[in-house]
Structure 1
Amino acid sequence: MQFHEFTGEVQHRIEGATQGEAVRATRATLSALGERIAADEAADLAAVLPMEVDWYLTYPDHRNRFDYDAFLERVAERTDSTTADAEATAQAVLGVVAENAPAGELDDVRAELTADYGPLFDVA
């Protein structure tokens, strides 16, 4: 999938979003996820994404321990939104990622997260 297709699909899933908002949502979600999971897992997931967004997963410091609420707070802060909107945004981004990732890749990511992250994958 190309960058414009990826962000276009994110834009479609976030009602009323502009392309810039879709890019910001993608960056916020993937960078927060990249901060939470191991570097090798981030690299594996990034490998299936467009090169313009894969580095959002790979550039942050990895394996930080924070719960799902803190994850949503990071996404909300980076998208200038509420945590409720951040959850819908993150679910939209992960839904697009899920459609492009090999079957077990998201399972590997989920295995690194605590059970409270379950809602993140409700749409994926």
Structure 2
Amino acid sequence: MNYKEFIGQVQHRLEYAQFGQAVRATRATLTTLGERLHEGEATDLASPLPMEIDRYLTEADSGQRFDYGEFVGRVADREDVDRPTANYHAQQIVALLAEIVPPGNLEKARNQLPDDYERLFELTDLAAEE
């Protein structure tokens, strides 16, 4: 999947009229996730993504410790949306990642996160059940 296809998928899932809104949501979510993950897991998660997108994960100041509430708050601030919207957008973007990234890479990243981050993977888990 190339950059335009990835962002187009985000745009469709988030029902955004403008491409730039989808870019902002993607950057906000993946930069924040990259900050939370250890560098190796962020790199593994980023490896199958288009280079214009993988940098959001890999260029973040990785290995920071913060809970899921702080994660959503950072996404909301970066995207300039409210917290429920940021949570939904992050879930949609992670669900898209789950369709692209090898399952083992996603699981390694997921296993590194505290239990309160399970909410981030709710849509991913629903899709896996279908």
Residue matched to 1:120: 120
Q: Distance in 1 between matches of 2:17 and 2:102?
A: 27
Residue matched to 1:75: 75
Q: Distance in 1 between matches of 2:3 and 2:20?
A: 13
Higher helix share: 2
Gaps of 5+ in 2: 125-130
1:29-78 deviations in Å (ceiling 9; x for gaps) = 00000000000111111101011110000111111000000000000000
Q: Distance in 2 between matches of 1:82 and 1:118?
A: 20
Alignment check: 8 A CA contact 2:16 2:22 kept? no
Q: Distance in 1 between matches of 2:85 and 2:68?
A: 14
How far apart are residue 7 of structure 1 and its match? 0.4
SS of the residue 1:87 aligns to = helix
- Which residue identity is paired with 1:19? F
Residue matched to 2:4: 4
TM-score by length of 1: 0.97
Runs of 4+ in 1 over 3 A off after TM superposition: none
Residue matched to 1:48: 48
Q: Percent identity?
A: 50
My pick for the range that moved more, 8-17 or 112-121, is 8-17
How far apart are residue 87 of structure 1 and its match? 0.5
Alignment check: 8 A CA contact 2:72 2:83 kept? yes
In the comparison of the two structures, how many residue pairs are matched? 124
SS of the residue 2:49 aligns to = coil
Q: Distance in 2 between matches of 1:17 and 1:54?
A: 24
Gaps of 5+ in 1: none
My pick for the range that moved more, 101-110 or 24-33, is 101-110
How far apart are residue 16 of structure 1 and its match? 3.2
- Which residue identity is paired with 2:37? I
Residue matched to 2:105: 105
